[in-house]
Amino acid sequence: MKTLAGITLAVCALSVVHTALSMLAPDRYRREMRTIVALIAVAALAHVISGADFSYDDFDFGDLSGGAFLSRDDLIKKELEDKISDYISSLLSERGIVPKKISVTATIDGQRRISITKASLTLDRTYREEEPKISSLIRENVADIPIDYFYGDG
C-alpha cells in the first residue's frame, strides 16, 4: 500500500511539473522537455518501486551560531533545557524570587522519550529559607525532579 501511495504521489507531482514545463517551454523545445520529464518519471518511479528510503536521520544538523556540530537529539535537548530554565525563572520571578542561574538537565533515551532528570539553581543566600517553597513550585508546575541548590553572596 505504501508503494502504491508513493507511485501515486510521484505521478501527480510529475504531472504538475510536466504541465508547468509544457506551458513555459517554447514550441521548439517541447520534444526535449517530454524526454526530460520522461527520464525524471522513470527515475522517480524506480526510486519508489525499489523501496529506497530517504530520511533526515542520516544527517547531522550543525549549530549555526557556534559552528560546533550537534545531533538533532542534542539540539532538541538543548532547546528543551533552555525553555524549561526560562519557564522556571519566570515562575520564581513572579513570586519575588530572583535566581542567579538555572540549569536543567534533560535526556532522550533510545526510544526517543524525553525526560527531565535534574535542575540546579543558584540563588542569593537570602532565599535559603524559600527552598521548600521553590521545590514545591517546581514539582507542581514542571516535574518531580531532584533539585540542587547553590547559594552565593547577594
Same domain, 144 and 84: yes
Same domain, 43 and 99: no
In a domain, 66, yes or no: no
> Mapping DSSP to helix (H, G, I), strand (E, B) and coil, where does residue 63 land?
coil
pLDDT tens digit string along 76-105?
888 889 999 999 999 999 989 888 999 999
**Total-model pTM:** 0.53
Per-residue pLDDT, averaged over 148-152, amounts to: 89
Which structural domain range is residue 19 located in? 2-57
Same domain, 14 and 76: no
Cβ neighbours of residue 151 closer than 8 Å, sequence gap 6 or more: 122, 123, 124, 125, 127, 128
pLDDT tens digit string along 21-68?
777 777 787 788 778 878 877 877 777 677 655 444 444 545 444 545
CA quadruple 36, 41, 44, 47: dihedral sign = negative
